[in-house]
Structure 1
């Protein structure tokens, strides 16, 4: 069998949106972790779960996993940690006892409220590079891409 020479296409990183998006997200995550999450003793994953539940409390682990793009077994362990820290609680579903739903506790709401100012500042700083019109267009483009790849 002949060994085929494989060389990836020459992608200019400035035009590789996936690389750019990953770099931006990683930088924002680092900044948030360094500015407040460490002091609050929560991880970036905890922050994302808190943020999602703040908007839509009482979700199943699978729903949370899909929304924040995490594997359910990994998220289940994260929820265990969060429960130990009294950030969330699990309750059986009122209509189906086989299902469990995750709810924010007051401690979870408080931790999120403490982390949010730093997160808001970081997001605001990142978006300063765009005009208000570009920010709106950027937001619309992200929604379209998200709808397409996260369905």
Structure 2
């Protein structure tokens, strides 16, 4: 069976044999590390942390989502997110509202100030994004994004 051979081959292969430059999780972490570092100066000007920046970015697209959904979309542990949301709320960038369908749940909304802060950050996010894809054609980029979407679907625990 091909599947069994593949499993046996994997078990006998070490990371050293694969190589870091051929190990996608390592490459993805390096890319995101560089992306976050590129954003650091602009985030600092706005008094934002990386989880807060991610939260504003997600809310700019999915405003009014539940905190647990925001944690998934922003790739932030809920306890870290909760502290970040406290600071964002204190600074007038987001507001919490009870979910009308579940009194135990809370939805998060961008305020006008929060939207303005994100709009100041977006050009820098876009520049960093464009730099990642320098020299990569549209078809290759589309195929890469499609592969990432399939990978996410393979490993995700939520329907979103």
> Common fold, TM-score beyond 0.5?
yes
Match among 122, 143, 148 for residue 142 of structure 1: 148
Q: Give the number of aligned pairs.
A: 143
Kindly report the root-mean-square deviation, in angstroms, between the aligned alpha carbons of the 2 structures: 1.3
TM-fit CA distance, 1:45: 1.2
Cα deviation digits, residues 82-103 of structure 1 (max 9, x gap):
1111110001112222221111
Select the structure that is richer in strand: 2
Matched, 1:25 2:32: yes
SS of 1:80's partner is helix
TM-score by length of 1: 0.89
What is aligned with 2:21?
Answer: 14
Structure with the greater relative contact order (CA < 8 A, sep ≥ 6): 1 or 2?
1
TM-score by length of 2: 0.84
Distance 2:144 2:80 in 1: 31
- Which 4+ residue blocks in structure 1 deviate beyond 4 angstroms? none
5+ residue gaps, structure 2:
1-12
Distance 1:54 1:150 in 2: 22
